[in-house]
Every structure is written in structure tokens, then in C-alpha cells.
Structure 1
Amino acid sequence: MQNRRQFSRVLFSTDAQVIFNDHQYPCKLLDISLHGALITRCDAFSSSTNTNAILCFTLPQSEIEIKMEVMVSHIKANHIGLKCHYIDIDSITHLKRLIELNLADDELLHRELAMLIHDTQQ
């Protein structure tokens, strides 16, 4: 199967929360990109695809919170795929740095940022 991803994913495991319909569900972040995330499936979260939610997590050993408005893109037995449709400037700055530190390829990161900016302008 061909990999159609435009954004590099970084394995990053930490506690997170998904907020859906004013309810907060604990989950575990499995990986993250500039354009989305993969989280563990929470039993209490019985949403369907194309549902809007908010993903929040705090960077370990810090008080830095990253928050993104997401849409559920797929639900599997053990995980949920989320596509980011809005992220504030502070969160994207910290997320960019996190990916930069784990990707070790500045040129690839800048290319992905340009694609992200292009996507949001359409």
C-alpha cells in the first residue's frame, strides 16, 4: 500500500484529552504531525467520523499545552485518527519545535509548513 501522507508523523506518547460535546475523555497520544494526530481509542468516546472535537495535551516536564481543533478522520479498534483543522499560533509554534527536534530534517519541516499554510488558505 502506498503511503499518501503529506506530513511526517512523529511518535510521541503522552497523556491527552479529547473534548467532545462538552465532555472530556482521557486518552493517550500515539503520534503527531502538523496536520493531525493518532490517539488511543477511549471507550467513553463513541463518536463517528467527521465529528469535530478538541485535542489537548501538555508537553512532558513543562506547562506548555498544545490544543488543536480536530475532526475525527477514522476510528479503528484501538485508535482514532484526528485531522487538525485549526491550531492557534502558540500551539503550532510548540508543535513545530517538537517535530523539528524529532524529525532532524529542517528542509522537510519547512516544506510541510508551506503545505500546511497553503491548505489553510484554500
Structure 2
Amino acid sequence: MSDHQERRRFQRVAFDAPTELCQGERCWPVTLIDLSLKGMLVERPEPWDADLTQDFEAIVHLGDLEKVRMQVELRHEESDQLGFICLHIDIDSMTHLHRLVELNLADSTEMMRELRELIEV
């Protein structure tokens, strides 16, 4: 188990949806591997020439009108994957993300624990 998995307090759920990372005027389409209430893991796009000192906006397209938008920071880069932590998320995006994670977690008590932890962070 990697150090990142041992420290993870929020369960990630595998989810396939069109996703992009944006930084200023630049955007990279990425393959979403999984996401949680506090972050996401994506495949590194090619070419990957972002400014790693700056934050990104992650946009997960759930449907024609529904999107999860998060301000994210790159936390780790391993092999061909990029791990991001959420710095800010608006209430509508949080509602969509909460519902998506809730539907994919088998244990409702786990969802409540994660929400409490998110509030404490």
C-alpha cells in the first residue's frame, strides 16, 4: 500500500466521466480514474506542460448541464497518474459530488464519517 493510500481519509470511487484540468487559458482533457469528497486521481495527459506551482480548475462533466467544478492543487505525481486535492468547491458542485460518492459507497455510515471529517478539515 502506498503512503498516499495509508494517509487517505476519504474513500475514492471509480468513476468515468469527461474531465478536464484548466490553468488560466489552457485546458487538458484527462481520463478520470477516481474521485472523493476531497480530491481526484487522473491519468497524466500528453503533453503535460502545466505550471505545477499554480492551482488548477478541475471540471467533471456529469451530464449536459451538471458539472463538478473544483479548485485543485497537484499533490503527487506517480508514473502516469496525477493526484489532486480539492482546495475549494462551490455548493452546487459539492451537492453533485456528495450524491455521486454516496451512490457508489455501500456503507452510509462511512459517508457520514467522511462528511464529518470534511467539515473538520
TM-score of the pair, normalised by structure 2: 0.89
Deviations 1:37-60 (A, max 9, x none): 001101233236553101001115
- Cα distance in 1 for partners of 2:51, 2:108 equals 36
Aligned to 1:19: 22
Q: Residue type matched to 1:64 in 2?
A: E
Provide the secondary structure at the position in 2 that maps to 1:82: strand
Provide the secondary structure at the position in 1 that maps to 2:103: helix
Percent of aligned pairs with the same residue?
36
Kindly tell me the number of residue pairs found equivalent between the two proteins: 118
The reply to whether residue 106 of structure 1 matches residue 108 of structure 2 is yes
TM-score of the pair, normalised by structure 1: 0.88
Aligned to 1:6: 9
Provide the secondary structure at the position in 2 that maps to 1:17: strand
Provide the secondary structure at the position in 1 that maps to 2:7: coil
Aligned to 2:79: 77
- Cα distance in 1 for partners of 2:13, 2:28 equals 23
- Cα distance in 1 for partners of 2:62, 2:38 equals 18
Which residue of 64, 67, 81 corresponds with 1:65?
A: 67
Structure 1: which 5+ runs fail to align? none
The reply to whether residue 86 of structure 1 matches residue 88 of structure 2 is yes
Provide the secondary structure at the position in 1 that maps to 2:87: strand
- Cα distance in 2 for partners of 1:92, 1:17 equals 17
- Cα distance in 2 for partners of 1:52, 1:43 equals 19
Aligned to 2:54: 51
Moved over 3 A (4+): 47-51
Q: Residue type matched to 1:86 in 2?
A: H
Give the superposed CA RMSD. Answer: 1.6
